[in-house]
Chains A and B, each alone.
Chain A
């Protein structure tokens, strides 16, 4: 029975039901992938429309209310439906058990439940556009008091985010238990692949930060429905406490996005430089350090809101601390590449693009983290550029890297590598043309979230909009190329096309239902190479 690949397996249910009712972690991972690509591309279209509106001053294709709705939806969908769950839900589900030498996650049925929470939450967000007071226009942050006053469908959209939180929590719970209880014999903590370390640190944030967002959103709902006074200043509430609560979750959430991505880099670099990773221990520990420090810095989102000067100084100082473990990682990656026999295949190309984009994002983050410059730059395009470099340049680029790295293993098919490289370069060039002018615009004083601008900003906006077209062309090439590979008739059976050393490259392509015929016994570190090969 274990000869059959997970794609072809037929059990109690077949066809579509065989997927929708499957508790196989690999099928659940693929179902997340399918759903997320749809939501991601939808949100890309929203972003493209926004950039088109910014082509000329004044109204180009839409009015202010539509623009407010679009940036809200773009943010909500990208963040809650793609960036936060992306890597853990898709690739974590698919590969974590295999990398640990296990047959499935600890709680397979809860895993499926978590997918349903995700889909229900996502559909609710889309449904919130269609009824009630119209599409939400609060921005993805749902700041009070506006979110309590606006007539748009905030109550329902907020509930959708609450449901998505459940999905995230259950995934985290599952991964922590899996990592603690289901590692193969001989796989001690320091023989675990670094992607698993990234997921472990992430899972703790999912578990211990998401409930804060849950309760905060619940309170927004209760205030809107019953008029309970908690955050509403008219009823004695303190809107700044709302912002504290929101960012207590949402800042660590940034690390939910980036930690698995960083773990992935630590997988791809040793594979394509044919070397053991440099500094395994520091990389693993820096994941935990980033996860912890991530809880300490949320106040830097509130520097100009009127929080006390003492806390501003403390939060600013703590913010700079994040740079240390992040720097540890980058130095170790570069040291791994150094004197390696580098094979510049598409996954590595995406990783190198990531390192550059993420470094720009990280360094501009320091500009925003220091109090005096932040006063000048807060709520300008500089911030928009910064977080797109960090999140999209970070997690987004690595999402493509992961797809190209694991695609042959997941589907037993291969894409065209040349076209993938062309797509990657187009994406990278478009990305910089789109977002780099925003740094300058922000520095010059262009505020974010406006559908209109002063004529002197025109040239930079035009360049940025052209960049959006180039970048979307890149994404289009990448997606079509993968889709063509997926639809190919010919299967590949090569177990290890890249020469990787972790356990997923020891199982058949595509993996069989139970992953392993015999649970492997681990006798060496994840990136150590056999001499004879």
Chain B
């Protein structure tokens, strides 16, 4: 039992570490640090496969239409097909990433998109750069391989195949899942964020029926407050036994003097949440913070210039200039 719990915890930690390792900070032109989650290799690969399927479908559709509609000879249908392939290969990604703000149909389905990795504007040149490089990474080597298969030495075919494989696998192993085009274009592929605004839990009752003294509220910290918020929002906790359990734990811990009826547990929790948040937020305004129940209220440490929670430099033009200047005076 214990070992399985440990295992579970370890897995959770691992998952959290993985999620953390995908967070990248950029500084938006307004000067605020924003957090993006990088797209994983799988997400990018699936998006690419989807786009390839769409392109192929487009080519097949085009060739069927052309050869049937115009009744052309074999050679000129092939020529039309070649022209169609040429246009689709060159402009499919380019068109969509420009028109759809960094997304292609495949990326849209996967919920990922291209952004400027330094936090500035995503310029057309960047989009062009990353997509033109794609031709060299994948399409032309593939084309060469198929065109000359059997005609060229197998060594050359192998080299071409290896090149394609390296290019496809590069984002798997590069730190930020960059492919060559991202390096050249100065872009990265991030997850399109989405979140909905939920109700403010502190607003629910016009007047609180349970009140608390500072002593009651001084027990817990921000961590517990967040956990409580999560519990109150989670639908599976809406069954009152679970919430009742939490309520009575809190009542015991803070040594609450008033009796709370079991039916009032949710009401109590919401009042407690509002009061606790009120206190902690007020303390924050005065520059004091209580992280969790085990740490005392302490002043918020001023952020040192250059300090960063992840230990990674935010990728910005500002940071680059600063570090460049200090390294090479």
- The answer on A and B forming one complex is no
Q: Which residues of A contact B (CB under 8 A)?
A: none
